Amino acid sequence: MVYASQLRPGMAVRYEGQPYKVLMARYHPGQGKMGGVTHTRLKNLWTGNLWELSLRADLKLEELSVEKIVMEFLYEDSSECYFMDPQSYEQIGIPSSIIGPQARFLLPEMRLSVEFLEGKPVCVTFPDIVDIRISETTPPTHQQQDSTLKTARLENGVELLVPQFIKTGDLIRVNIENLEYVERARLSGR
């Protein structure tokens, strides 16, 4: 058991009979006879729904143990993404709804941490930044307009804004949380 005031992002807890992952938790101490409050953002691990609520600081929650296994992405079909445990070679299908919109950035042989609760996959953890190639964009312009951006299509079909000097075929780094260009990727050996 854990008190609501001890909640931290990344923890898994059971609240009102449902398993949740803590995405955000801020504890605000009370004054005088007023007890403290923890403001939280929780994600239901079975349904994927997000829920923001305030909990009394002295509320006890059941802490759940989540098993994390680094797995290799193999392929995807219409509704599931398939991963393999590189140690046991066991393959598992994870519904795309659990992975969310970040599934577009899955590449073959990519290794990601998969979280399991009671033997079922509940979350796939992506890196904050991924390297991906530009498949289509307008030719680069060499003008003094360094702050202007243009649209580019990535090899996975996602469109985002990039600086003018980026050209088709370039490898760039993208923040997949907010779909923003970070920088041109450095090629090894240079």
Q: Same domain for 150 and 139?
A: yes
Q: Same domain for 118 and 155?
A: no
3 state DSSP class of 12: strand
Q: Same domain for 38 and 56?
A: yes
Please report, for the domain that includes residue 110, its CATH number.
Answer: 2.40.50.140
Please state the separation of Cα 74 from the chain's center in Å: 18
Please report, for the domain that includes residue 14, its CATH number.
Answer: 2.30.30.30
Tens-digit pLDDT string for the chain (190 aa): 888 888 888 888 999 888 898 989 998 887 777 778 889 999 888 777 888 998 888 889 999 888 889 999 999 888 889 999 999 999 999 888 788 788 888 888 889 999 888 888 888 888 888 888 888 888 876 665 567 888 899 888 888 898 888 888 889 998 888 888 888 887 654 4
Q: Indicate the number of domains in the chain.
A: 3
- The reply to whether 190 falls in a domain is no
Burial class (CB in 10 A: 0-12, 13-18, 19+), 189: exposed
pLDDT for the residue 146: 61
- The reply to whether 51 falls in a domain is yes
Full domain range(s) for residue 167: 129-184
pLDDT for the residue 145: 59
- H helix or E strand, kind and range, residue 96: helix 96-99
- The reply to whether 189 falls in a domain is no
Q: Is the dihedral of CA 104, 109, 115, 120 positive or negative?
A: positive
- The reply to whether 175 falls in a domain is yes
Burial class (CB in 10 A: 0-12, 13-18, 19+), 69: middle
pLDDT for the residue 82: 92
User: What's the whole-model pTM score?
Assistant: 0.70
pLDDT for the residue 70: 92
pLDDT for the residue 73: 92
pLDDT for the residue 138: 84
